[in-house]
Chains A and B, each alone.
Chain A
Amino acid sequence: MIHLADGVLLLAIKRLNGERSERSLYHVLNGKRSATTLQDAFFYEMEPVFGQFPQTTYLYEAMLKRFEKRGWLNRKDFTLTEAGEMLASPEAVEQLMNRLGGERRDYNLTTWKRLSLFVQTFMSREHDRTFYPVQADRPAEQWVKQLLRFDRDWKELMRTFHQEIERALERIGDPYASAVVYRFTGAFETGLTYEQIAKLLNVDAETARLYFLAGWNELLIVLPDEAKLRGFTYGLSTERMTFSARESYDLFLKGYTFEQVQAKRRLRTSTIEDHVVEMAMYLDVFPLDQFVPMEDVATIEQLRHPSSWALKPIFEKMGRVSYFQIRLVFARLKRGETFV
């Protein structure tokens, strides 16, 4: 049996590069929307696992203990042992992790709830079968109810949905495709639990869960823009930026200065700074020169060790720039920009 899920978690630890703590990973896995955690996820390429392993501190601790006991993890500096590196290195692990997508305002999850409930509801109705809804989610229920009120040729649309799903999954391939398909519930077929899918694919249940998450995420990515299935994402956003940062951003767009935004929102300087860092991380275009003199930007870039995102060495060497400014420059560098 293959335990790729362990590999994914080990790879996550590896990406942290010994520069972040056990708590940092914990918050990333739980999808905590704090400035530090968002930055950790961004800089250490952890966005795919962001919020994808919600767990209690107790279980997290148990997991780390297990990794240590098996000889995969050095807990002192939070790095992998050689054996741990081996498990984190297969391409299948990297592929699985990168496909997870990460949590973005529950975009993937909400879309899944809507579609799976819709398919179950519609097919059960067509076949005149009573059913037990697989989703116990009020908003999804309401959404499906509303949708069915529209007068459409639903049967025809269902055929289209079927084709679109099939084509997308053909491109993604197994085991992802199976993990997604077997979660669907129809009029006669009840979806499988992760344990059952695990048996089918000869993996552990946690890996089966990740295959589903990854497969579903990929499906939403490879789906053509004009696909009818896109309707199920109606009103949802994939934005990674927090709502609060978004609010500040909108004020900046209206031409307010940093101080004006702060005064208007009655927030601390550090909070607005965090918002600006989010903008630097997530926006395609960002006016870096408004926050950091361009010669400092170049110096920071030159001083950075190519494999590290640690702020402190730069801060100590430069003296005159703030952590805030280093973060902004790092964010743009991470996005692939260069200033030298």
Chain B
Amino acid sequence: MYESTLKRVFGYDSFRTGQHDIIHAVVEGHDVLAVMPTGAGKSLTFQLPSYIKNKGLTVIVSPLLSLIEDQMQHIRARGERGVARLTSMESAEEKQEIINQLKRYRFLYLSPEQLAVPYVTRALSNVSVQMLVIDEAHCISQWGHEFRPEYARLGELRKQIGSPQCMAVTATAPENVKRDIIEKLALFTPEQFVHSANRPEIRLVVERLDKERKLERLKELIQNIPKPAVVYTATRREAEALAFELDDALFYHGGMSTEDRRLVQSQFLRDEVSVMVCTSAFGMGVNKDNVRSVVHFQIPATVEAYMQEIGRAGRDGQPAFAILLYAEGDERIQQFLIDGQYPKDEDVRMAYFESENGTAITQLPRLLRMSEEESKFLLLKQLLTERSLQEALEWVKERRRDRYRQLGQMMDYALIRTCRRDYLLRYFSEPTIEQEECCDICGEIIYPETSTIVRENVTEWKIRLTQIFSFE
């Protein structure tokens, strides 16, 4: 029904599972609550209706600057100019210019803080807002794992801009969180869509082996598995070291300069390099449809993280592989990382002792030998204002135990001798699914023959320069 618009605007031939129904509900004017795993094509479901209805502004509230940046990039890349953003990054003049010309835009992205700025709210109430989209809607709920206070006012703000049609989207929402979203945003008998976390096109593989064998096996594996491939590791240093060992591989991590990160992403997106070795920093909004394999050289900390990371494979719906290499003791690195995220008991005690004795909070990082920006310290700062010492100790212990338990669940995935897909689905409280080509427990995994992409040879700089400046 909406295929012609899909083809014309987005260049796709068909919808992905579930997209069509959501779009239909939106076009019909219903409030919508959509729970979709990352990579299922959320953004298309609120963008496409704008081209069908073709009137008014779609306002999208999103909590992360990087997500906004990224979505804008993609919208612009397909040639849509009617998109703007209001975040802390814009200067006052830039903001004013956008506000003055709201009618020119089809999509407006903003942070919840910006929506709450009175003159922004007022300006929005004076134009026709076709729909208000709340991305990462679970942040509105105190029950959720990522409650954000700035989200709490969204219901009221929706009213102030004239109660437009509203769509709440999130990747994860248990029952209580869903109820919270509906209530807080005052969604009117919303149509609810809950997507299965299953990704049928991804085959699940775990290989258990000795630590000493891992690197060698990874090298073999990279020869055999279909590419492009992403290899996830736990640390920056390891990402660099592995990329060095593998052919036609680049590394990507948060410690690189922006320019280098962009060069790497761009090369990977354009299939100029076939293997990307990275930490979990890679992936936020990387829209590459044809990733054929995701290899984990280290076990991730949670099943959710694992699902999100393997979810980058096979977005085009074609078969893909998720391979976890696990050696006994690998979990120690995650335990170490978890421990590093929470202050030690003695640090908590010391912080409380010092602050009771009147030490300024700005002095604490030096005393505790922590950096001001590290999460451990931010957490401590928050604890100091909200809890007593006993409660704080208890809270940290509880959180740490929780994280260890989650890591244990991820390890179970590597260790079980029953269907891996079944395990993942049970984890997300979903019924079992039987499918052919499932996992290494259900049947033998055979990697398809792959033709190795031939890299163009290094050219002399003058030739390269001519290519770059060529109009041919």
Q: Is B262 an interface residue (CB 8 A)?
A: yes
Q: Which of A131, A155, A165, A192 contacts B465 (CB 8 A)?
A: A165
Task: Name the CB-closest residue of A to B76.
Answer: A130
Q: Is the CB of B469 within 8 A of A123?
A: yes
Q: Is the CB of A186 within 8 A of B89?
A: no
Q: Is B446 an interface residue (CB 8 A)?
A: no
Q: Is A324 an interface residue (CB 8 A)?
A: no
Contact with A along B238-256 (1 / 0, CB 8 A): 0000010000001100000
Give the A-B pair count, Cβ closer than 8 A. 84
Given contacts A166-B462, A181-B461, A195-B250, contact A132 B260 (CB under 8 A): no
Q: Is the CB of A189 within 8 A of B468?
A: yes
Q: Is A259 an interface residue (CB 8 A)?
A: no
Q: Which of the 9-residue segments B179-187, B265-273, B338-346, B393-401 touches chain A?
A: B265-273
Q: Is the CB of A131 within 8 A of B468?
A: no
Q: Is the CB of B263 within 8 A of A188?
A: no
Q: Is the CB of A193 within 8 A of B462?
A: no
Within 8 Å CB of B259, what residues of A? Answer: 134-136
Q: Is the CB of B468 within 8 A of A193?
A: no
CA distance A182 to B461 in the complex (A): 7
CB distance from A63 to the nearest CB of B (A): 16
Q: Is the CB of A119 within 8 A of B262?
A: no
Q: Is the CB of A136 within 8 A of B258?
A: yes
CA distance A188 to B459 in the complex (A): 14
Q: Is the CB of A136 within 8 A of B262?
A: yes
- Residue among A132, A165, A186 with max Cβ neighbours from chain B (10 Å): A132
CB distance from B288 to the nearest CB of A (A): 11
Q: Is the CB of A178 within 8 A of B461?
A: yes
Given contacts A166-B465, A186-B467, A189-B468, contact A138 B269 (CB under 8 A): no
Consensus secondary structure, chain B interface: helix
Contact with A along B269-305 (1 / 0, CB 8 A): 1101000000000000000000000000000000000
Q: Is B77 an interface residue (CB 8 A)?
A: yes
Q: Which of B464, B467, B471 contacts A155 (CB 8 A)?
A: B471
CA distance A17 to B71 in the complex (A): 53
Q: Is the CB of A194 within 8 A of B260?
A: yes
Q: Is the CB of B464 within 8 A of A132?
A: no
Within 8 Å CB of B258, what residues of A? Answer: 135-137
Chain A, range 159-177, C-beta contacts under 8 Å to B: 159, 161-162, 165-166, 169, 174, 177
Given contacts A182-B461, A196-B250, contact A132 B467 (CB under 8 A): no
Task: Name the CB-closest residue of B to A119.
Answer: B468
CB distance from B36 to the nearest CB of A (A): 25
Q: Is the CB of B263 within 8 A of A181?
A: no
Chain B, range 435-457, C-beta contacts under 8 Å to A: none
Within 8 Å CB of B269, what residues of A? Answer: 132
Q: Is A158 an interface residue (CB 8 A)?
A: yes
Within 8 Å CB of A178, what residues of B? Answer: 461
Within 8 Å CB of B470, what residues of A? Answer: 186
A-B pairs with the 10 shortest C-beta distances? A186-B468, A162-B469, A181-B461, A130-B77, A178-B461, A190-B266, A190-B267, A132-B266, A136-B258, A181-B465
